[in-house]
Amino acid sequence: MSPERYQRIRSVLEKRQTDLTVCLENVHKPHNVSAIVRTCDAVGIHQVHTVWEKKYQIRRGTAMGSQDWVRQTNHDNISDAMHMLKAQNMQVLVTHLSDTAVDFRDVDYTKPTAILFGQEKYGATDEAIAMADQDIVIPMMGMVQSLNVSVAAALVLYEAQRQRTIAGMYERQQLPEEECHALAFKNGYPRLYKLCMRKGLPMPRINDIGEVDADESWWREMQITKAEAEALEAS
């Protein structure tokens, strides 16, 4: 990994927002899921939550590799997801047209926030709506009453990014340093990472110029030399 790539990775990880997330409840079209994950990466979200009746594969083409940088936690049901989010003291917003709904731009996204998006055709379930703290809407001036879920997610998330940028929240590293190193190794040295996991070895640290910083015993356990590892990643 070149020093330039490592610095790029570090810059991205240092801006990750651990207290801003998205929860997708039975959003079942893979291209929508992938597009939302791509937007999450773009605004610095570290983790997304999903509730699916069956597990879907995030499409690499639509996600453009963002699935490698945004962690996904799947829940068996919406109740489990909501309890986890609320245990993290997050305000849970749900996109839902109701008498109590507010314009999505009138919410304070500098607070720990989870934004729930429901299934494409039917929206969020009654259970999810009842457990959420606030309904939000995107004002519509045309004949249709809703946007594609991935478009709606992009609008809301970029409002959150705007507010957090003004508040200086991207200038403070939220992601623990240990996790930064783990992600840098996993994505900077993918082949070496797979070998490391296969052998059950701890992930090494990465130094300031993007090199694997491991002692000789670690390399011996890997049964590969540093020079061979560099050649493997370059191939």
Claim to verify: residue 99 and residue 199 sit in the same structural domain: no
Claim to verify: residue 205 and residue 120 sit in the same structural domain: no
What does residue 112 show for φ and ψ, rounded to 5 degrees? -55, 120
In a domain, 161, yes or no: yes
Ligand-binding site membership of 9 (annotated)? no
In a domain, 3, yes or no: no
In a domain, 4, yes or no: no
Ligand-binding site membership of 138 (annotated)? yes
Ligand-binding site membership of 175 (annotated)? no
CATH of the domain at 33: 3.40.1280.10
In a domain, 2, yes or no: no
pLDDT of residue 140: 85
From first to last of its 235 residues, the chain has per-residue pLDDT tens of 888 988 999 999 999 999 999 999 988 888 889 899 999 999 999 999 999 866 555 555 544 455 778 999 899 999 999 999 999 999 999 998 888 999 999 999 999 999 999 888 888 889 999 999 999 999 988 867 778 899 999 999 999 999 999 999 999 999 999 888 888 888 888 888 888 888 888 888 899 898 888 888 888 888 877 777 777 777 6
In a domain, 90, yes or no: yes
Estimate the share of the chain in helix, then strand, then coil, as percent rounded to the nearest 5: 45, 15, 35
Claim to verify: residue 164 and residue 196 sit in the same structural domain: no
- For every residue of 2-19, DSSP letters joined together read -HHHHHHHHHHHHT-BTT
Claim to verify: residue 99 and residue 155 sit in the same structural domain: yes
Claim to verify: residue 31 and residue 66 sit in the same structural domain: yes
Claim to verify: residue 100 and residue 164 sit in the same structural domain: yes
Helix (H) or strand (E) holding 70: none
In a domain, 10, yes or no: no
pLDDT of residue 64: 44
Claim to verify: residue 135 and residue 22 sit in the same structural domain: yes
Which pTM does this prediction carry?
A: 0.84
Domain boundary among 121, 156, 171: 171
In a domain, 144, yes or no: yes
pLDDT of residue 63: 43
Claim to verify: residue 108 and residue 57 sit in the same structural domain: yes
Domain with 32, as residue range(s), is 17-171
Task: Compute, in degrees rounded to 10, the torsion defined by CA atoms 175, 178, 184, 187.
Answer: -90
Query: Which residue, among 153, 39, 131, has the nearest Cα to 84 in the 3D structure?
Result: 131
Domain boundary among 122, 153, 171: 171
CA R_g for the chain: 20
Claim to verify: residue 158 and residue 217 sit in the same structural domain: no
